[in-house]
Amino acid sequence: MNEGDLLSQLAPVRIPAEFAAFGLRDALLLMALGILTGVLLSPLLRLLTRPRPSRLSLARTAISRFRQVPDEARVVALANLLRKLDPSAPLPDGIHDGLYDPRNTMDAELLEQAVLAAARKRARA
């Protein structure tokens, strides 16, 4: 007995007529599944495709927030931001000594410019 003989002896597949026909219920079900999938995937897609702020804009925002704190805390916060952006970036002249000696005056503007330069450098890399 070969394969053709076996297939000829098999009974035909019987499925109900309502299963064999594509109707309005099936179309509505497919539409509902598509909408549900879209609703479930939209937060993920929104998360993956949202615009991300550049390091330079984040640095500018942080600098503007730091201008509202006292000078000593401002310089420390700017130095931390500089280290976060570029750990190998050197501190401007006079800032390193001013961080450890309260008698030294520090120019926070120099540190702000170093932070912005590090953010630009990081953005190009």
Per-residue pLDDT tens over the stretch 5-42: 887 888 777 777 777 788 898 999 999 999 999 999 99
Q: Quote the tokens at residue 68.
A: 């509202």
Q: What is the DSSP string of 3-30?
A: HHHHHHHSPPP---HHHHS--HHHHHHH
How many domains in the chain? 2
Same domain? 64 vs 90: yes
Same domain? 41 vs 89: no
Same domain? 26 vs 85: no
Query: What pTM did the predictor assign?
Result: 0.58
Question: Could you read off the pLDDT of 39-56 as tens digits, one per residue?
Answer: 999 999 999 998 888 888
For residue 10, give its domain range. Answer: 3-49
Same domain? 45 vs 59: no
